[in-house]
Amino acid sequence: MPINPFTQSFSMDDIWKQRLSQEQYNVMRQKGTEPAFCSALSGSKKKGNYYCAACGKLLFMSSRKFESGTGWPSFFSPAGKNAVRLVEDDALGMKRAEVQCAACGSHLGHVFDDGPPPTGKRYCINSACLEFEEKFGKEISRASFAAGCFWGVEENFRKLPGVLQTTVGYSGGNWEHPAYEEVCTGKTGHAETVRVGYDAEKISYAKLLDAFFAMHDPTQKNRQGPDFGTQYRSAIFWHSHAQKKESEGKIAMLKKSGVRVVTELMKAGKFFRAEGYHQKYLLKRGEAACRI
């Protein structure tokens, strides 16, 4: 897992260097600019949301995106009033408005007055700063699981046929909008969780349960392998009474067979999306998911 500044002495710059790829660090923390037309995001017409690659904050939505022909993703307005902040920038001898993430202060791009109605603005954003989460045309089913470090858990679920979407985050605690470092302390009560979007016609919830129990050790309380703490506990967060009933049945069957299951079963509450660098962590790095 990444550097935890609560237990180790590192500068914030060290932490950003570990969290972000070299390109992301150059753009987001050193205010660089990526080459035009370098990313599929610039011309993408997929529906969904764009999140900060550094902290996971919702920044822009596809409904406010337009094709500017510049080679960078362009939006006529951010996702909300508190999504971004504007800072005067005259570094190149011309006055421009720099766009920063309102949550973490990362550099995103610049805003210009040559956009379409209704705002007339063009938020010109580096794609390296964005994490995209697609919205599907039809309603998809949701399931949420905690089984230790969410990097490997997400990668295992992502590969299952019928799974359309995976997002890592924090669930089951009493802390609003927790950051990774806060979850690491164990004081938030949250577990590292994977939210799964799936096509119920292609994969059943029962199959997801089978995969969940196969990818971790449900007999270990508040730990998986070398990772320990309540944030690594085994838990199922049910989204419907049907999911609750199936989960109870699966746990009962395992216990009857002699498996001392300690998996918690809780109603799904608020899910807080984890920072951008955690999303698809192993996929981005070409690493295989571990199996306890």
Single out the catalytic residue among 55, 124, 129, 184. Answer: 124
Q: Please tell me which residue in 52, 55, 129, 149 is annotated as part of the active site.
A: 149
Give the separation between CA 142 and CA 200, rounded to whole angstroms: 9
CA trace torsion 41, 46, 49, 51 (10° rounding): -20
Residue 124 annotated among the catalytic residues of the structure: yes
Tokens, residue 277: 């660098």
Write the DSSP symbol of residue 243. H
Establish whether 101 is a catalytic residue.
no
Report the alpha-carbon distance of residue 192 to residue 148 in Å, rounded. Answer: 7
CB atoms within 10 A of CB 230: 18
- Alpha carbons 162 and 164: distance in angstroms, whole number: 6
Radius of gyration over every alpha carbon of the chain, rounded to an integer in angstroms:
21
Contacts 24+ apart (CB under 8 A), 204-211: 205/141, 205/143, 205/242, 205/243, 205/246, 206/246, 206/250, 207/160, 207/162, 208/143, 208/145, 208/157, 208/160, 209/236, 209/246, 209/247, 209/250, 210/250, 211/156, 211/157, 211/160
For 206, the 3-state DSSP assignment is helix
- The DSSP symbol for 162 reads T
Provide the b/e sequence for 73-83 (b: ≥16 CB within 10 Å): bbbbbbbeeeb
Contact 140, 165 (CB under 8 A): yes
* Catalytic residue ranges: 124, 149
